[in-house]
Structure 1
Amino acid sequence: MKYKILTLGCKVNSYESQYYEEQFEKNGFIKANAKEISDIYIINTCTVTNTAASKSRQKIHLARKENPNAIVVAIGCYIQFIDKKKRQELNVDLVIGAKDKSKLVDIVMDYIQNHNPHSVLDIEEFNEFESMPIKEFESKKRAFLKIQDGCNQYCSYCAIPYARGHERCLKKEDVIEIARQLSLSHHDEIVLTGIHTGRYADGNTNLAKLLKLLLEHTDPSIHYRISSIEITEVSDELLMLMKKNPRICHHLHIPIQAACDKTLERMNRPYTIDEFKERINTIRTMIDDISISTDVITGFVQESEEEFQQTYQNLKEIGFSFLHVFPYSKRSGTEASKMDGEIDGITKKNRVNQLLKLSSELRRKDMERFDTLEVLIENHKENVYMGYSNQYHMVHIYSSKNLSGRIKVRWNEIKDNIYIVKEGSICD
């Protein structure tokens, strides 16, 4: 039988879809290409905004339309977030929420043989981390390792705590074993990921201690990167480990979401701008070659022009390496969705464009700080080799010789926020 996976949402969803694909292949199913009719459709849903929820429903509808006789499975955040009545209204054969994702293929096979339905459990029943180990990311030098799930923070705009449940983590022994398997599959860099990666905890083992164990128990050639971490989770212990060990890439992605105290308070974020700035200064004092990028939501409920200008100026002052910019999008059921004062679309678009322009300026300024780069070669096209520096800037290397692995180079120019490295600029 042929299967097709349609993925919406975040990098964690993409990771989980990769796991589903590996499990389907392991059990003898065949992956359908984009144009083929499939026997099984897996819709990996998202509920972060009303738009994401609408797209999830649309994907379900398109799958059913493409093959009315197919088995259609809706899985993930949107399914967990909506109530039982709305689930029943979806034209699907199986629904799986935030639990039993690791059993997806078994559930599908049971449905094929016995037509057994599956129930979505209440979010309060999620206590254990569901391991979803991926052995290999095909044709990629960088691998992802999901070590954490769930969120306890309850930002006012976010549905994730209701869709993924309380925080829970993968056992440290399992993290180490999966990392070993990934290294055997010729992955040179492992990215630790989760919904709240910085809150990793297994007994007395926090994120810093976990990284120390990984450095000790995996091949010395393997480097590590943290996908995203909150400012309140960047401990001195973690910074000291990053400073001392070059195998941890000197880049942190720290979401700020807004850079104005009034906006942050409405968002229910756990810091003030002064606290955020102070911690950023500490990080840079301890690791002078670190690059720090961020996420920003603009056009949040009641965001005045004055608040936006404060955010803009503070982002510029902090000097991030780049910004991921998102216009605020309402999600029904969150605290923010109950607030008055929604910002119009034109204003949001204008603010997004201003921040994207600032991001481009900030990235170039950050890139110019470095003379030499350590780059992981990830792919190539003819004589152009592409990869990212340790500080997570894109690099294009022109070379008539075959390049692979992690190499050091000197850049010649920066074009469209990409380092250009010409022939002969590779360091010995």
Structure 2
Amino acid sequence: MRFSITTLGCKVNAYESQYYAQELEKLGYEEVSDHEQADICIINTCTVTNTAAHKSRQKIHQAKRLNPNAYCVVVGCYAQFAKEEERDHLGADLIIGANHKNQLVPLIQEMVNQHTHKDTVSDIVQFNDFEAMPIHYFESKHRAFLKVEDGCNQFCSYCAIPFARGRERSLQYDQVIRIAKSLVEQGHSEIVLTGIHTGRYHDGDKTLADLLAGLLENTPEHVYYRISSIEITEVDDALIHLMKTNPRICHHLHIPIQSACDKTLERMNRPYTVAQYKERLEYIRSQIPDISVSTDVICGFVQESEEEFQTTIENLKDLQFSFLHVFPYSKRDGTKASFMKGEVNGKIAKQRVSALLSMSKELRKKDMERFQPVQVLIETHNGNTYTGYTNHYHPITIESETPLSGRITVPWDTITENGYYARKV
């Protein structure tokens, strides 16, 4: 049978979709694109904003329209967060929320064999166990991802994720080590630890720093590690010390700030002030001088005045990130922010996004200029053109007559809008 997977939302969703595909392929199913005819259409949904929920519904209806005789499987955050009557109107054959996702393939087989229709969504507070979804092979054969945590306890006022994915839970320490070893056996030389709150990893008394120490000890010297994203309140002294003393942990952290104005942060229900964020960031840099730190920023949050935005701009300049991921605020019904008055005009929000994206280009160029030569993981090539990312997570293009592979150190010639450019003789 042929299946397609449509993925919306975050990198964790992308990871989970790859797990579904690998598990189905093990049983002989053939994956096709979501524009081709399929027997089973899987839509991995997102609910972080109203727009994301709308896109999820659109993709579900599109799949049913293009494949009227196919089984329709809806999985993920939108499926969990939607009300029961809303799910009923989707016309899906199988609906899986935040629980039972690692049972998607057996549930699909049951659906196909018995022609059943099932809605597995249960109350988000009824489960606390981490569902292991190990991927043992990534097509790039270079960088691999390993999901070690799920769920969120933070309850930012704009975010539906705690309601859609449930409370924080982590993959058992021994299982993480086993999966990492399997990834190494398949030829992967960089492993990215990922989750909704990766920094909140815990298994008994083991923290993220303990997990990284165990991974370093149990995998070869050529294998490097990277953290996908982490909150400033989660970068503890043990993790800083480990990054400082072990070069196999890439010296890049992505630490969301969301706003650099205290008044906005308070409405967002973020657990720090700008001063607290800055103090911790300065300590991280004092211990790891060559570290690059990137961040997320939301523009146009409810009641964000021009004065507040200008405060954010000035503080972002002062904080000197390596680059910014910038998003316009988008309302999500049911969150605390959705009940607040004072929505920012959409055009103004887009103007603010544009201003910060321009800043991000300047910040990235300035950060890139700090490093010469650079260490690079070669990921793709087309003829004599090779591409990859440096340890500090800056993109690079290398022209080389000699074949390149693995992790190399190379001097760069210029910095372009697309990253470093190097010619290797």
TM beyond 0.5: yes
In structure 1, distance between residues paired with 2:331 and 2:294: 24
2:52 corresponds in structure 1 to: 52
2:194 corresponds in structure 1 to: 193
Q: Quote how far apart the aligned CAs of 1:417 are.
A: 4.6
| Offset from partner CA, 1:132-171 (integer Å, 9 cap, x none) | 0001001341000000000000000000000000000000
In structure 2, distance between residues paired with 1:20 and 1:201: 25
2:219 corresponds in structure 1 to: 218
Gaps of 5+ in 2: none
In structure 2, distance between residues paired with 1:63 and 1:346: 32
Q: Quote how far apart the aligned CAs of 1:228 are.
A: 0.1
Q: Quote how far apart the aligned CAs of 1:382 are.
A: 1.2
Does structure 1 retain, via aligned residues, the 8 Å contact 2:6–2:34? no
1:176 corresponds in structure 2 to: 177
In structure 2, distance between residues paired with 1:313 and 1:281: 17
1:138 corresponds in structure 2 to: 139
1:103 corresponds in structure 2 to: 103
Does structure 1 retain, via aligned residues, the 8 Å contact 2:177–2:218? yes
SS at match of 2:424: coil
Does structure 1 retain, via aligned residues, the 8 Å contact 2:5–2:34? no
In structure 1, distance between residues paired with 2:141 and 2:268: 37
**Partner amino acid for 2:67?**
N
In structure 2, distance between residues paired with 1:33 and 1:61: 16
* Runs of 4+ with >3 A deviation: none
In structure 2, distance between residues paired with 1:247 and 1:32: 37
**Partner amino acid for 2:170?**
C
| Offset from partner CA, 1:363-417 (integer Å, 9 cap, x none) | 0000001111110000111111111000000011111000000000111110115
2:40 corresponds in structure 1 to: 40
**Partner amino acid for 2:380?**
N
Does structure 1 retain, via aligned residues, the 8 Å contact 2:100–2:120? no
1:269 corresponds in structure 2 to: 270
In structure 2, distance between residues paired with 1:387 and 1:67: 37
Alignment of 1:314-333 (within 5 A): 314-333=315-334
Matched, 1:372 2:370: no
Matched, 1:411 2:407: no
In structure 1, distance between residues paired with 2:39 and 2:418: 43
In structure 1, distance between residues paired with 2:238 and 2:246: 12
Matched, 1:237 2:238: yes
1:8 corresponds in structure 2 to: 8
In structure 1, distance between residues paired with 2:111 and 2:164: 24
Does structure 1 retain, via aligned residues, the 8 Å contact 2:292–2:392? yes
Q: Quote how far apart the aligned CAs of 1:67 are.
A: 1.4
Percentage identity across paired residues of the two chains: 61
In structure 1, distance between residues paired with 2:382 and 2:113: 46
2:159 corresponds in structure 1 to: 158
Q: TM-score, with normalisation over the residues of structure 2?
A: 0.99
1:73 corresponds in structure 2 to: 73
Matched, 1:280 2:281: yes
Does structure 2 retain, via aligned residues, the 8 Å contact 1:363–1:417? no
| Offset from partner CA, 1:27-48 (integer Å, 9 cap, x none) | 1111123442100000000000
In structure 2, distance between residues paired with 1:232 and 1:35: 43
SS at match of 2:74: strand
SS at match of 1:205: coil
Alignment of 1:338-353 (within 5 A): 338-353=339-354
Does structure 2 retain, via aligned residues, the 8 Å contact 1:364–1:417? no
SS at match of 2:362: helix
Does structure 2 retain, via aligned residues, the 8 Å contact 1:323–1:356? yes
| Offset from partner CA, 1:217-275 (integer Å, 9 cap, x none) | 01111000000000000011101100110100000000000000000000000000000
Q: Quote how far apart the aligned CAs of 1:20 are.
A: 0.2
Q: Quote how far apart the aligned CAs of 1:4 are.
A: 0.3
Q: TM-score, with normalisation over the residues of structure 1?
A: 0.98
1:391 corresponds in structure 2 to: 392
1:92 corresponds in structure 2 to: 92
Q: Quote how far apart the aligned CAs of 1:337 are.
A: 0.3
Does structure 2 retain, via aligned residues, the 8 Å contact 1:146–1:193? yes
**Partner amino acid for 1:420?**
Y
| Offset from partner CA, 1:185-242 (integer Å, 9 cap, x none) | 1111000000000000001100001000000001111000000000000011101100
Which stretch of structure 1 is more off in the superposition, 46-55 or 29-38?
Answer: 29-38
In structure 2, distance between residues paired with 1:327 and 1:213: 39
In structure 2, distance between residues paired with 1:399 and 1:338: 56
In structure 2, distance between residues paired with 1:41 and 1:96: 13
In structure 2, distance between residues paired with 1:423 and 1:168: 46
In structure 1, distance between residues paired with 2:204 and 2:291: 29
Does structure 2 retain, via aligned residues, the 8 Å contact 1:372–1:408? yes
Q: Quote how far apart the aligned CAs of 1:85 are.
A: 1.2
Does structure 1 retain, via aligned residues, the 8 Å contact 2:141–2:186? no
Cα RMSD over matched residues?
0.8
2:61 corresponds in structure 1 to: 61
SS at match of 1:98: coil
Gaps of 5+ in 1: none
In structure 2, distance between residues paired with 1:403 and 1:323: 30
SS at match of 1:74: strand
In structure 1, distance between residues paired with 2:164 and 2:397: 39
